[in-house]
Chains A and B, each alone.
Chain A
Amino acid sequence: MSLAAFVLRRLLWAIPLLLLVMLLTFVLMRGAGGTPFEPPEGVPGLPAPEQRELADFYNLDEPWFVEFGTYVRNVATLQFGPSLVNRSRSVDDAVVQGFPVTGELILLAAAWAIPAGILLGLFAAVRRSSALDHLATSTASILLVVPVFFVTYVLSRYLVYEWDVFPLGWDTWQGKVLPVFALGLAPAGYVARLTRAAAVETLQADYVRTARAKGLRRSRVVGLHVLRNSAVPILSAAPPMLALLVTGAFFVESAFAVPGVSAEFVQAARAKDYPMILGLTVVLTVLVLVVNLIADVLMATLDPRLQEERA
């Protein structure tokens, strides 16, 4: 099977999965009962005419499958509709304003965490079982188990609020340094552990011994053979890695006042703003599926056997 066919098949698999996620979220929300206009504590209720307008937009008076159909059509045409709680805001606004910021934060964090993790992991694997290996491995494990809210609390409180080393906010690059650093720590530890495990295995392979035996320098063997052959296991960890980054973003954004999508999400959850939650979940799912597709395609390019197995 060609690579194009592989990509196409994966894309086709993504559509039912996305519909399933939408249906599940939708049914759950609807099954929760009551009316979405019942104001939660502290949120003023909507006046009747506007309720009418919203009910018409979302087809709330129709049977659930009509409502779901309307919703799928809206999403397909990229119209997520207005928020049920905040009259002046639409879900599209939140998506358009929030996701680029969160996306930038996650990409920047991944951009330093992945190379750093790979270097730390290779370093440990090459010096396997030495004191330096233990140091590197335990550093990686500690980075992974320390809860992210502890890291963000310490960094934001001291470096931003008390000592004024870095400014708050997302407007300047100085303001971006700490959020990006804090978000990348756990993924860096994760990548380091994966890389070490993969590289330790590759280092014992016959072709590595052959390469060494024919006189290639150690650095070249590691850079060329080991790194390349460890790439597939590292790439296969893209989904949990992305999950780490998304989870972390919730705490990083709130600690450093980054105007990303997570604050919107938590706020919508507290206010039971159904279209907002639904819309943000759908966009997030699409992004996650795209990232995983990219990782799968990269893996299949590096190791063509996977095109057969995983398709």
Chain B
Amino acid sequence: MSVAGPTSGRRRMIGAFFRNPTACLGAAVVLLVLAYCVVVPLVSPYDPEDADFSAVREPPSAEHWLGTDQFGRDIFTRLAAGGLVTLTIAGAALAVILVIGVAYGATSGLLGGRVDTVMMRLLDGLLAIPRLPVSIVILVVVGLQAQNVQTVVLALSIVNWMITARLVRGEIVFLKRQDYVRAAQALGAGRRAVARRHVVPNAFGIVLVALFLELPAVILGEAFLSVLGLGPEAPTPTWGNIALEGITFGRLWLVFLPSLAIAIFAVGANLLADGLGDTLDPRRWGAARVGRRWRKLAEQPAPEIV
């Protein structure tokens, strides 16, 4: 095992992160979009939901950087506010995904044997079912009265936890075969102790990677539901709702901007997931363009966007 203390280990990990161009670029993109969505609604002189009929459908100008929409709302502000709602939905969904995915994956991986086989077969089956129709079914069931943010979060998290579960399970199966775990077992450590001390803590990194891999699908999922008219109800801005307004009112500009935001954020999150995968594994520090063991664990290749 490593001689270095925890602090130096962490510092080396941070160093490896900053030396990895993919990770840095991904983190920069994600942070920039995040900053835009958080800061702009706070400092903007315009309200994202207040109509101003004296300035409808204006092109970009010094006052309105991205122009105004059909109700005279400042698009630059509204896109940020919408992004904030979308990202909040995504964040809440990721929290639920984390719980379900880790619980399912860890149970399957730690128990092993027949239980593992059945649980993984079931997961394969669930992964095969297209998510959009399923999330629509869930929305229908949960949101009996009105579609709001919570129902969308629930619908998105129920259909998107499978990659996390699979990655966590794969990592735990991998860790269980490692020499230090077998050494601990040979020294007489019980099943529980091995799991608690040696296996589960080391699977932490994979969870982070998994969440960033799920993120684009969640963001796109919100947009898909909203564009179909099943997202959070009208005055609430989300990227999907803004695109829906663009489609309804026939403005390419309003469809283009949220689509671009989604695409940029999805690319950023994917780069970050790849970069994190490379840097969280000490065995790969300093290696050039490193292999993608974690990606491969997902078996279903590149699941990010579906």
Contacts and interface: CB of A to CB of B under 8 A. Distances in A.
B165 interface: no
Contacts of B252: 153-154, 157
Contact of A17 (B122, B216, B256, B300): B122
Given A145-B266, A240-B303, 9 more contacts: A13-B125, A32-B140, A34-B144, A145-B262, A147-B220, A147-B259, A149-B255, A247-B131, A265-B133
Contact of B130 (A28, A154, A237, A246): A246
Interface in A1-60: 13-14, 17, 20-21, 25, 28-29, 31-34
Contacts of B130: 242-243, 246-247, 284, 288
Interface string A277-311: 10011001100110010000000000000000000
Contacts of B301: 194, 197, 233, 236-237
Task: Give the dominant DSSP class at A's interface.
Answer: helix
29 contacts: A17-B122, A20-B122, A28-B138, A32-B140, A144-B305, A145-B262, A146-B259, A146-B263, A147-B263, A149-B224, A149-B247, A190-B302, A194-B301, A236-B300, A239-B300, A240-B127, A243-B129, A243-B130, A243-B132, A247-B306, A265-B136, A266-B136, A266-B228, A266-B230, A269-B137, A269-B230, A272-B144, A281-B137, A288-B129
Given A145-B263, A247-B132, A265-B133, A150 B243 contact: yes
Interface in B281-306: 299-303, 305-306
Interface of B: 121-122, 125, 127-134, 136-142, 144, 216, 220, 223-224, 227-230, 243, 246-247, 250, 252, 255-256, 259, 262-263, 266-267, 299-303, 305-306
A193 interface: yes
A32 B143 CA distance: 9
A72 interface: no
A186 interface: yes
A87 interface: no
A277 B250 contact: no
A288 B216 CA distance: 23
Contacts of B132: 243, 246-247, 250
A244 interface: yes
B156 to A, nearest CB: 13
Contacts of A292: 128
Contacts of B256: 150
B306 A236 contact: no
Contact of A272 (B133, B140, B246): B140
Interface in A233-262: 233, 236-237, 239-240, 242-244, 246-247, 250-251, 254
B137 A239 contact: no
A269 B216 CA distance: 25
A25 B263 CA distance: 32
Contacts of B134: 281
B102 to A, nearest CB: 21
A250 B144 contact: no
Contact of A193 (B125, B224, B250, B302): B302
A141 interface: yes
Contacts of B122: 17, 20
Nearest to A151: B259
Nearest to B303: A240
Contacts of A32: 140-142, 144
A145 B262 CA distance: 8
A214 interface: no
Top 7 A-B residue pairs of the complex, sorted by shortest distance between their CB atoms:
A150-B259, A246-B130, A239-B128, A17-B125, A243-B130, A240-B306, A145-B263
Among B131, B141, B144: residue with most chain A CB under 10 A? B141
A149 B223 contact: yes
A197 B302 CA distance: 10
Nearest to A287: B130
A240 B263 CA distance: 19
Contact of A25 (B127, B137, B300): B137
Nearest to B292: A197
B23 to A, nearest CB: 17
Given A28-B141, A239-B300, A284-B130, A186 B224 contact: no
Contact of B255 (A150, A186, A242): A150
A78 to B, nearest CB: 20
A144 B302 CA distance: 11
Among B134, B247, B302, B306: residue with most chain A CB under 10 A? B306
Nearest to B256: A150
Contacts of A147: 220, 223-224, 243, 259, 262-263
A145 B268 CA distance: 11
A232 B136 CA distance: 32
A266 to B, nearest CB: 5
A21 B137 contact: no
A21 B305 contact: no
Nearest to B239: A147
Nearest to A194: B301
B251 to A, nearest CB: 10
A243 B131 CA distance: 7
B255 A153 contact: yes
Contact of A285 (B127, B129, B227, B267): B129
